[in-house]
Every structure is written in C-alpha cells, then in structure tokens.
C-alpha cells in the first residue's frame, strides 16, 4: 500500500520506511517556531526542564509579530523575554522589529522552510508551510519547549483527505476563496486531525501566495496540516530562497485517502464568511447589503504582495468610503518595500487608507484596529470567532483581497465587479 506526501515526509523524519495513519511516531524537526505570545511560555518551560542550551540554535525561529511593535508594557515584557533568550542562546533566526514580519509569511520568504521539511510552531497557522510541500503543524508552548531541548516531537500520523479543484478560476477568485468555500462545505471540524491535501488544475495554476492562503486556513477545518504536492511553481519559489538542500515528496499512485472531494471551480465565486465561524460562508452574490465600519487587508493569510497588488488595482484612483476606515498591513518588511517600489503604498494612502508596519495586530484583536461594541469589520484574516477582533458584540466577516478592496470603496460588502472600470 502506497503513502501520501504527508505520510512520506513523516516516515522520513521518523527514520521509518513506512508509516500509516494512526501510528504514534517520534520525528526529528527541521525548524521550531514561536512568537511573542507563545515563546515566553515555552522559554519558562524550557528552563524547568533543566537543560542549559537549545538542541540547535540554527533550527529555532523567534518572531515578535503579534503585539509588536509593543502596544503596552506587558507586550514589551513578553518581547523582552524572547529577545533576551535569543541573545543568551545565540538563536540565529531571531527577527527584531524592523527586520521581522508576520511569522508565516516571513519564514518561507527567508528560505527557512522548504519542501520536504517537518516543522512545528507554537501558533495554529503554522500549517501555512504545507504550500511548499512541507509537513507543518501548530502545537502548544510546552511541546515547543521540549522540542527546543531535543529537536524532536511525537505525534500520531494523520490520515489524508484529498481535495481536487477542477477547471480555471473565475476573475477575482483566488486561494482564499477556494479555502473558504471548502471550509463552508465540510465545516470547522470536517478535517479534524486529518491532512488536507489540495490538488487539481486550479491548484496547478495558483500562485504561491494563493497556495499559502489555502494551507494557512487548513486549521480552520480542524486539520492537522494542509499540503500541496510540489511542482514547478513550488520549486521556482524554493530554489530562489533555499540556503540548503531539500527533498521533494509526492504521493504514491496507490496512496490511500480517507475521502476525496472534487469541485468545479467554475461554480465558485468570491466568498465571504459571515459571523461567527469561518465555515459560515456564502458567495458574494448571496451576502446582501451589509454596511461596514472597518476593512482590514493583511495577516498571515492575505498580506502578501499579490494580495496588495489586487487591492491597489481596485483602489487606484478611488477613495475609501467616508463611513469606514481601511487598514492595510504588508506581511513582511520585504513585501512592504516591494509595495513601495511598485507604487501600491501611494495608491493606498491617496485613497485614504492607513498603512501599518508588519504586525498581526488587528487579526487577533491585539492592536492597530480593535473593534468597539456594535462595530462590523470585513477582513482578509483567517478567523471571525465572537470577539476575535475586539468587543464580543462586534462582528467580523472574512474575504479575499478583491472583495475587501471593493467593499472599502463602497462602504458595504461588495463584489469587485461593481466598481472595476468605474471612476
């Protein structure tokens, strides 16, 4: 019986020829990640273990991105704990404010995660790196502490659900729309502790930015990981950034899947997830007239250059509606700089948007866009749970960058077709 790509990566990192779903295994790790929220807890637990040095200073990444630049004294303390630990341990991949970015955009950009890797992170959206054909999953801070000491982690091998997307995407429809549509079909627990494998013609024609968006939200269906088999697009991206060798794994022809779902993407329009679950999705034509107080473009899901390019294309020569505020957050410093060079930032500012330094900020209700009671936001972020972006009596709708831009102009949730080509 053959293995899936997820099973092959796990078998390789466990030193086994074959693994199957349900097996309990111990795997060696290529990278361990934590941020300013989760690292302080992991560091405390690491010290309790009694080991003086991390297993490999080059295989740990620490990124202050959630409440950084520091929003208050407590967040400053948390960042200092992480900063001091990085200095003490000589951590190679510590990214200070001004050099950092949102972790799940930053690490692939820096070539720290590559095809065939096994990666854990004390953040649920670590599953993003599956877009590169890596096994990556979120864990707790205690698991990260143990991994920093040993370089390993134990886990149960997940079974795989295969999602096949046939055909070519409609205009303004991207990876975010595909994953929202999929979660809407299977529910927030539809892939519980499974690997979500994305494939098909539509995926082959999807950019890396779109693939990252899809794998990023696998956790919103309860998945252990999301993954896309590497192809020419993947390898072009990885080889341009890699500073070490990496392995490429592919499914065996006789690999076994728990389920197979097939979609014709011609039937998929721009999607919106309504409060208070990412699975509460509907096509943009079915949303209705919903006025907004805030639109956010950014996060580890949709703060990449392609996302900003879409927003700039729609916003150029237009103004943000007087009834709302638009916040745009490039995901990394490199993306920010490229957006400046390509003229996107000027378009945003002239339209009346706020442009922020890279930060998770509003996504988790941290800073830079917290909602008051009764306010309603549309965001390219990944979660819209009750109180996610601020007050428990606020509302968050999720979408892709094209819908976000059109909505910022019209003051309500809107399709880009409503304004493209207008003055």
Task: Give pLDDT tens digits for 64-79.
Answer: 999 999 999 999 999 9
Q: Taking residues 113-121, what's their average pLDDT?
A: 97
The overall longest dimension of the chain from CA atoms, in Å, is 65
135-181 pLDDT tens trace: 999 999 999 999 999 999 999 999 999 999 999 999 999 999 999 99
Token pair, residue 238, equals 């990885």
* Chain segment 340-358, per-residue pLDDT in tens: 999 999 999 999 999 999 9
Tokens 């509003």: give the residue.
362
DSSP SS3 for 184: helix
- Residues in CB range of 343: below 8 A, 6 or more apart: 312
Closest residue by Cα to residue 262 from 173, 171, 189, 161: 161
DSSP lists the bridge partners of residue 397 as 378
**pLDDT of 282-316, one tens digit each?**
999 999 999 999 999 999 999 999 999 999 999 99
Is the bond preceding residue 276 a cis peptide, omega within 30 degrees?
yes
Please say if the pLDDT value at position 423 is more than 60: no
Which tokens go with 417? Answer: 């077709």
Q: CB count, 10 Å around CB of 83?
A: 18
Q: What is the value of pTM for the model shown?
A: 0.95
DSSP E strands in 64-209: the ranges are 93-94, 118-121, 135-138, 152-156, 160-166, 195-199
pLDDT band of 1, cuts 50, 70, 90? confident
Residue pair 42/144 in contact (Cβ under 8 Å)? The answer is: yes
Write out pLDDT tens, residues 212-237: 999 999 999 999 999 999 999 999 99
At 251, the pLDDT band (50, 70, 90 cuts) reads very high
- Distance of alpha carbon 315 from the chain centroid: 24
63's tokens: 């990124």
| Domains of the chain, first to last | 5-263 (3.30.499.10), 271-418 (3.30.499.10)
* Burial (0-12, 13-18, 19+ Cβ within 10 Å), 24: exposed
Q: Return all residues near 274 (Cβ < 8 A) that are at least 6 apart.
A: 280, 281, 282, 287, 384, 397
How much of the chain exceeds pLDDT 70, in percent? 99
**Residues for the chain: how many in total?**
423
What is the Cα–Cα distance from 64 to 333, expressed in whole angstroms? Answer: 13
């Amino acid at each position: 019986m053959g293995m899936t790509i997820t099973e092959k990566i796990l078998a390789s990192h466990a030193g086994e020829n074959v693994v199957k779903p349900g097996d309990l295994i111990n795997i060696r790790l290529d990278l361990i990640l934590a941020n300013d929220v989760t690292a302080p807890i992991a560091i405390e637990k690491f010290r309790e273990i009694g080991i003086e040095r991390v297993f490999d200073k080059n295989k740990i990444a620490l990124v202050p991105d959630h409440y950084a630049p520091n929003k208050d004294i407590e967040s400053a303390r948390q960042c200092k704990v992480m900063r001091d630990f990085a200095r003490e341990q000589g951590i190679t991949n510590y990214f200070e404010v001004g050099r950092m970015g949102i972790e799940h955009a930053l690490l692939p950009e820096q070539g720290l995660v590559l095809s065939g890797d096994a990666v854990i992170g004390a953040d649920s959206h670590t599953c993003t790196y599956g877009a590169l054909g890596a096994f990556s999953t979120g864990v707790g801070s205690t698991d990260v502490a143990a991994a920093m000491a040993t370089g390993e982690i134990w886990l149960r091998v997940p079974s795989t659900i295969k999602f096949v997307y046939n055909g070519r995407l409609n205009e303004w429809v991207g990876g975010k729309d595909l994953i929202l549509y999929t979660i809407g079909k299977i529910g927030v627990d539809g892939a519980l502790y499974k690997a979500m494998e994305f494939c098909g013609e539509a995926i082959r024609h999807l950019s890396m930015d779109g693939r990252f968006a899809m794998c990023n939200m696998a956790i919103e269906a309860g998945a252990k990981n999301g993954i896309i088999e590497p192809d020419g697009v993947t390898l072009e991206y990885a080889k341009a950034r890699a500073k070490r060798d990496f392995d490429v794994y592919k499914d065996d022809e006789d690999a076994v899947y728990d389920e197979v779902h097939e979609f014709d993407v011609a039937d998929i329009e721009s999607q919106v997830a309504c409060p208070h679950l990412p699975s509460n999705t509907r096509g943009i034509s079915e949303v209705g007239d919903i006025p907004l107080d805030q639109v956010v473009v950014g996060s580890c899901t949709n703060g990449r250059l392609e996302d900003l390019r879409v927003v700039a294309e729609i916003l150029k020569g237009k103004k943000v509606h007087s009834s709302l505020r638009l916040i745009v957050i490039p995901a990394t410093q490199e993306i920010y700089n490229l957006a400046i060079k390509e003229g996107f930032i000027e378009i945003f500012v002239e339209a009346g948007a706020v442009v922020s330094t890279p930060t998770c900020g509003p996504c988790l209700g941290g800073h830079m866009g917290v909602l008051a009671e009764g306010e309603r936001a549309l965001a390219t972020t990944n979660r819209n749970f009750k109180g996610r972006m601020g007050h428990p009596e606020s509302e968050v709708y999720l979408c892709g960058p094209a819908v976000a831009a059109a909505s910022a102009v019209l003051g309500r949730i809107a399709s880009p077709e409503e304004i493209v080509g207008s003055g």
